[in-house]
């Protein structure tokens, strides 16, 4: 399996789901997962999903600029590093962001997100 | 050992060394290490150090804005996510960058960089 193809498929799925059905993101996390969102930490599916669905905007649109991928050294794990723009309703200018994911294989042949770190890149 | 303190100490060491003695960065990598620098991949100490010392500027100054840290799930590993500004000689405006490191413990009680992904955040 080509790691770059897996990374691209994950990134496409993640941000499409974020922009169209944010509650559906819960399925990519597990109880051990950790999200750092603008410096605040959330652990576990419920806590992470609660943070993401509770963000103070209903509509958004992610545009991906770069995706980098490397094997993480953990068994079958992959690090995915994303940069892009986030457009919010009523905002004239898109916000730049960077985000990294650590993907770990599941027994079912898929991946879950063990680590997720998100930062806006303020100008 | 407080992971956030380890991450901060690593970040301080890494960017101080980058800005004052770039060749000294070779010691934080090992043969299995991978660097993705603006989308180009380099593996191993010599290849990575060659890329960093060969960058087309002699002086630079990193200013760190944020540091996020999470355990990676690998044995004792840590993910460190950095955002900041990079000032180059002759450039009026600093360049924004994001960078992530996956640190793995060494037998000697220190850490080495298994994964390093660097991206400039173009405006």
B30 touches A: beta carbon within 8 Å: no
Q: How confident is the model at residue A77 (pLDDT cuts 50, 70, 90)?
A: very high
B3-121: what CATH class? alpha beta
**pLDDT of the residue at A102:** 97
Handedness of CA B11, B13, B19, B21 (dihedral sign): negative
Q: Which of B41, B100, B121 sits opposite A121 (nearest CB)?
A: B121
pLDDT of B122 > 90? The answer is: no
**pLDDT of the residue at A61:** 96
B79 touches A: beta carbon within 8 Å: yes
Q: How confident is the model at residue A9 (pLDDT cuts 50, 70, 90)?
A: very high
Determine the 3-state secondary structure of B8 from DSSP. helix
Contact B117 A72 (CB under 8 A): no
Instruction: Check if the beta carbon of residue A56 is closer than 8 Å to that of residue A74.
Output: no
**pLDDT of the residue at A67:** 97
Domain boundaries, chain A: 3-121
Instruction: Check if the beta carbon of residue A100 is closer than 8 Å to that of residue B100.
Output: yes
B100 touches A: beta carbon within 8 Å: yes
Q: What pTM, to 2 d.p., does this model score?
A: 0.95
Contact B98 A119 (CB under 8 A): yes
**pLDDT of the residue at B75:** 78
Whole-complex ipTM: 0.94
Residues of chain B neighbouring A73 (CB-CB closer than 8 A) = 32, 74, 77, 102, 104, 114-115
Handedness of CA B49, B98, A112, B77 (dihedral sign): positive
Residues of chain B neighbouring A93 (CB-CB closer than 8 A) = none
- Per-residue model confidence as pLDDT tens digits over B67-78: 999 999 867 899
Q: What is the mean pLDDT of residues A77-84?
A: 96
B6 touches A: beta carbon within 8 Å: no
Q: How confident is the model at residue A2 (pLDDT cuts 50, 70, 90)?
A: confident
pLDDT of A123 > 80? The answer is: no
**pLDDT of the residue at A122:** 77
């Amino acid at each position: 399996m080509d790691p770059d193809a897996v990374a691209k498929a994950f990134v496409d799925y993640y941000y499409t789901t974020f922009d169209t059905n944010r509650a559906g993101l819960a399925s990519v996390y597990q109880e051990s997962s950790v999200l750092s969102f603008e410096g605040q930490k959330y652990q576990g599916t419920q806590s992470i999903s609660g943070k993401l669905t509770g963000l103070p905007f209903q509509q958004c649109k992610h545009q991906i600029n770069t995706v980098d991928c490397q094997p993480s050294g953990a068994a079958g794990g992959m690090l995915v590093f994303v940069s892009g723009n986030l457009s919010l309703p009523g905002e004239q200018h898109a916000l730049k962001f960077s985000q990294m994911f650590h993907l770990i294989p599941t027994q079912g042949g898929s991946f879950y997100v063990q680590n997720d770190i998100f930062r806006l890149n303020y100008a």
